[in-house]
Structure 1
Amino acid sequence: MAEHDEIDAPALNGAALDWVVRTGSDAFDDWPAFHAWLEADPRHAAAYHATAADIDAMAAIVPPEPVTPVVVAIPARRRWPVWAGGAIAASLALFLGYGAIETGAHPYAIETAAGAIRTVQLADGSSIAIGGATRLILDRDDPRVATLEHGEAMFVVRHDDRDPFEVSVGGARLIDVGTAFDVKRVRGETRVAVSEGAVDYNPGRDGIRLAKGQGLHVRDGKATVSAVDVASVGSWRDSVLAYENVPLAEVADDLSRALGVDLRADPSVATRAFSGSIATAKLAGDPRLAAPLLGVAIRERGGHWVMSARS
């Protein structure tokens, strides 16, 4: 749909409600089609959000129907009361011609295979680039929250002071302050690097604010802040892995995710620090080509690759 096209408001509102209904269902799994619809025209995302906001507002005013009390666990952020579903559906049906609406608030996982990169466009206008062998949890009802379980992701966030974007990682919280930032979770450690704006790590009395050009490394509960090269933040999206005093064990993990191979660092070199950049596209999937740069030997052994000291 071109920007100059006239818009059919009833049709757009109907489509938006249809997506709200579908994405709120436990059975919904057609996220690529949903994202394609959002990206087709900026008015789609606006209509989707407006419809979801109307449901939020109606959930707050529709009186509950008498029901047998049931104890349930309800997440804290932006959830529609379970009793409001029928009343809201009936009200919206009168306006848009739909007979029913199913509301829900459920997380869903996005997982990538090693060697793959995927970019997700969120309904709020933010985007997330997801590296290989990564598991990210998003929320169908709230595009402003995410959880990185393992792997690496680059967040480019549309900032909203009233509703900041929140990323959970390693038991900690990251809150955006107008931000583009990279988050990595490997070997029980967390790394954060900010290329634009700022990020609050565990905001509060003992929180840490990371500004543009700063990074954070959390290991065994200890957080260390250091300077980072802004140009290198998220460079893995362009097939470049950039490091500053990072152990080779972590480099091996990153190469495994980027190349789609199983590369392990032998204890003899696992803790050795490496600084530099690796152009993964030039490796053609063969980790041995990185050995001279890393100052190690890389050999195939028992179905996987091993990084070890040169003999």
Structure 2
Amino acid sequence: MSERTNDGGVAVSAAPSPDEGLTPAALAAKYGLAVSGARPSLGAYVKQLWGRRHFIIAFSQAKLTAQYSQAKLGQLWQVATPLLNAAVYYFIFGVILHASRGMSKDVYIPFLVTGVFVFTFTQSSVMSGVRAISGNLGLVRALHFPRAALPISFSLQQLQQLLFSLIVMFLVAIGFGNYPGMSWLLIIPILLLQLLFNTGLALIVARAGAKTPDLAQLMPFLLRTWMYASGVMFSISGMLKDRPEWAKLLLQINPAAVYMDLMRFALIDGYGAAQNLPPHVWGIALGWAVVFFVGGFVYFWKAEERYGRG
């Protein structure tokens, strides 16, 4: 098309664009464009995570190695820290406060050590999870990968740390007359269920911590309260024997208490019958694991496109 100008020249006007009048959404659909960093579907997200499985495992191992790299005792602190905590709790609760009501010393010490190590697994998973995004913003902003890989890798790191602690738990149990038996095989499904629960909880607090970094400062107080309410240092059924049955059951079915009781049942001879475990305790453990893992994963995935953009 052409038209004559005032000075006698000819001006050429461009033909109308074939995209003229299209909305941005229509343009994107026409040329196959997608929003950078947009959240994929849940199925695609799971596939992306599976494709990064080697990165998740390697990242967790690297974090575990670096955790005590500056300490002279190195990886021994993985075992020494919860063991020293157990010694302090035994002195305060076992010797001074006599929290071992109804249990002999031979039962109470493996009871306490098992409780401290198992609760530390959950506690450490939560504390590392709450900082998984906010503490790794450089990595989140520099690379494109499913962000759930971070809290999942931190949970695996804590599992690897617990595996070192299991050696001490076994030695303490044997030292007080609890020898390996068929019940010890239950440790494998117990740890798998607790890992699923811990990972789901880590995903939940990772999203919350990404939005509110101050949550990392509050979390130690919440975890300490949870620890005291979960029977780490005392038997819930023994301590609350004069309280209403519903109060005792409420504390017994909380996730931390459930996984500790199952581990004690596996390691300590006669523990289940003596401590009156809640009915259907395996079903409760499975329920907590599935609900928190699935719910936490979906909850974290829904905010995928917002991580690192604050």
TM-score range, shorter chain: under 0.3
Larger radius of gyration between Structure 1 and Structure 2: 2
- More relative contact order in 1 or in 2 (CA 8 Å, sep 6+)? 2
Using structure 1 for the length normalisation, give the TM-score: 0.26
TM-score by length of 2: 0.26
Write 1 or 2 for the structure with the bigger share of strand.
1
